[in-house]
Amino acid sequence: MAQCYRVTLVRTGRVLADCASCPSGAAARARGLLGRTGLTDGEGLWLKPCNGIHTVGMRFGIDVIILSENLTVMAVRSRVRPWRIVLPASAGRSTLELAAGTADETGVIVGDSLMFDPVGCT
C-alpha cells in the first residue's frame, strides 16, 4: 500500500498536491502512472529513490520535479508530453510527478524546498 503526502512549497505555502502517493516496492515504482488516463488537480506521485523518469507509454502529460535528499528542488520540467525522457539531475534523489501545469501555477523553481506531510488519501 502506498503512503500519501500533502506537498507544500515552503517559500509560499502553496499546496502542490493534496495527495501525492509514494508507492512501496520496485514494481509499483516502475509501473508509476502507466495505465492511467490522467492525474486530477491535487494528485501526484512521489517516486523514491528516483532522479529521472520517462513518459513512454503514457497517455497524458505531466509536470516533473526532481528533488535532492533534503527535498530541495533540483530540476523542474513542466508539461512533459508522452513518449519523452527527463534525464537524471545531479544530486537528485526523488521525483514528484504532478498534473501538467501545476509547477507553473504554483511558481515552484529550482532551489525551492518542499514539505511532505503524511495524509490519508481517499
Domain spans in the chain, listed from the N-terminal domain onward: 3-119
Q: Alpha-carbon distance 17 to 89, whole Å?
A: 22
Write down the pTM of the prediction: 0.92
Q: Alpha-carbon distance 98 to 93, whole Å?
A: 17
Per-residue pLDDT of the chain (122 residues; tens, 9 = 90+): 578 999 999 999 999 999 999 988 777 777 777 778 889 889 999 999 999 899 999 999 999 999 999 999 999 999 999 999 999 988 999 999 999 999 999 999 999 999 999 997 65
As given in the structure block, the three cell numbers for residue 73 are 528542488
Task: State how far the alpha carbon of 25 is from the alpha carbons of 29, 97, 106, in Å.
Answer: 6, 17, 30
Q: Alpha-carbon distance 21 to 122, whole Å?
A: 11
Query: Which fold would CATH assign to domain 3-119?
Result: Jelly Rolls (2.60.120)
